[in-house]
Amino acid sequence: MTYRGLLNKYNSICKEKNLEIEAIKLLILELSNFDGASFLAHYDDEIELDKLNVLESAICKYVNDFIPVQHILGYTYFYGYKIKVSKDVLIPRCETEELVGYVLEYYDEIFKGKKVNVCDIGTGSGAISIALSKEEPNMTLIATDISSDALIVAKENAILNNANIRFYEGDLLQPLIENNLKFDILVSNPPYIDKHDEVDPLVIKNEPHLALFADDLGMACYDKILKDASKILNTPNIIIFEHGYKQRKLMLELVDKYYPNSECEIIKDLSGNDRITVIINK
Ligand SMILES: C[S@@+](CC[C@H](N)C(=O)[O-])C[C@H]1O[C@@H](n2cnc3c(N)ncnc32)[C@H](O)[C@@H]1O
């Protein structure tokens, strides 16, 4: 069978099962060490039997066992950086790459060229901290998570990417307050799904619930972070959150409660959903 034949074979299966053929293409590319161009160059090559078995066994884990491709490979790419993932961390999402882009943009606007301390609350795989520290050398990153298992993965990813990040285990800002640390930028993509919301069964099955769900209509972490943020923030400062697309109104209420004099902007993601809140205190 050729690579073209293999993709055709699974194209219809993906349609039937509402899965993504792009995910299968990624598996083939990664397991065959192809980039996009070399894959096209070999599109009509016959695949050796041994290799075909390896590819089909990986593809079947996705189409039959519904295991995410990132878990089959053991890694993903985030903002161009290779990030290990496991059952202990959320698979970083493309909306979070947008969040990183906005942190860099607002850093340029408010702090351009200055050295800043940045905290990443609920770091999971470490993806946000790694991307920021690699993209902007003026940022010193400190990341926290309540999950010791997630922090093991995050530390591995920092080493893998040669990123200099300090990690603390603990509840939201608590370890930072206890260590009397101060920051210019606070970024967080905390758990934000309300437990009554409908969630893709594949996400429920494969991703840590600690990374997904939060009390108070999914707003509990934002409330706690904003309540304590003044204890760890310098002035000026930027607070920037990723959140659920239905949380605009609740987010604005929290901003009004804790930072009524701030400049606040809610930004839509590339799919047109309210996704990122930026709070600037000058
Ligand atoms: C939605 S995931 C985001 C992971 C990563 N920042 C990303 O964007 O891919 C939320 C993370 O927050 C962590 N978390 C949940 N509750 C927490 C708490 N009370 N304090 C600190 N971290 C928490 C979870 O373990 C998880 O790693």
Summarised one tens digit per residue, pLDDT across range 9-60 is 999 899 999 899 999 999 999 999 998 899 999 999 999 999 999 999 999 9
Cα torsion for 13, 19, 21, 22, to the nearest 10°? Answer: -170
186 in the same domain as 61: no
- Would 160 be classed as within a structural domain? yes
Mutate which of 99, 157, 189 for ligand 1? The one with the most ligand atoms within 8 Å of its CB, which is 189
266 in the same domain as 171: yes
Q: Nearest residue CA, atom 6 of ligand 1? A: 123
Mutate which of 81, 87, 99, 221 for ligand 1? The one with the most ligand atoms within 8 Å of its CB, which is 221
The vertex-127 CA angle with 242 and 26, nearest 5°, equals 105
47 in the same domain as 116: no
State which residues form the domain around 236: 90-281
* The last residue of a domain, from among 46, 73, 100: 73
State how beta strands 116-121 and 81-84 pair: unpaired
Question: pLDDT tens digits, residue range 155-208?
Answer: 999 999 999 999 999 999 999 999 999 999 999 999 999 999 999 888 999 999
Q: Report CA(27)–ligand 1 centroid distance (Å).
A: 27
Q: Nearest residue CA, atom 2 of ligand 1? A: 211
Q: Is 99 in the pocket of ligand 1 (CB under 6 A)?
A: no
Cα distance between residue 86 and residue 185, in whole Å: 28
- Would 84 be classed as within a structural domain? no
The pLDDT value given to residue 201: 85
How many helices (H) and strands (E) would you count in the chain?
12, 9
- Would 257 be classed as within a structural domain? yes
- Would 79 be classed as within a structural domain? no
Considering its fold, how many domains does the chain have in total? 2
Q: Report CA(172)–ligand 1 centroid distance (Å).
A: 9
Instruction: Give the predicted TM-score (pTM) of the model.
Output: 0.95
- Would 96 be classed as within a structural domain? yes
* The last residue of a domain, from among 73, 107, 123: 73
The pLDDT value given to residue 206: 92
121 in the same domain as 237: yes
180 in the same domain as 52: no
139 in the same domain as 22: no
Helix (H) or strand (E) holding 223: helix 220-228
The pLDDT value given to residue 57: 97
* The last residue of a domain, from among 73, 102, 126: 73
Q: Is 70 in the pocket of ligand 1 (CB under 6 A)?
A: no
Atom number of ligand 1 nearest to Cα 150: 27
Question: pLDDT tens digits, residue range 84-142?
Answer: 999 999 999 999 999 999 999 999 999 999 999 999 999 999 999 999 999 999 999 99
Q: Is 188 in the pocket of ligand 1 (CB under 6 A)?
A: no
Cα distance between residue 260 and residue 256, in whole Å: 4
Q: Is 128 in the pocket of ligand 1 (CB under 6 A)?
A: yes
- Would 85 be classed as within a structural domain? no
User: What b/e string do you get for 44-66 counting C-beta neighbours within 10 Å, with b at 16 or more?
Assistant: eeebeeeeeeebbebbebbbeee
59 in the same domain as 18: yes
108 in the same domain as 8: no
Q: Is 68 in the pocket of ligand 1 (CB under 6 A)?
A: no
Residue among 133, 128, 142, 135 at smallest CA distance from 97: 128
- Would 142 be classed as within a structural domain? yes
217 in the same domain as 252: yes
Statement: residue 83 has pLDDT above 90: yes
- Would 169 be classed as within a structural domain? yes
Q: Report CA(122)–ligand 1 centroid distance (Å).
A: 3
Please check whether residue 102 is in contact with residue 240, taking contact to mean a CB–CB distance below 8 angstroms.
Answer: yes
55 in the same domain as 94: no
The vertex-199 CA angle with 8 and 254, nearest 5°, equals 130
Residue among 111, 50, 85 at smallest CA distance from 280: 111
105 in the same domain as 69: no
CATH of the domain at 158: 3.40.50.150
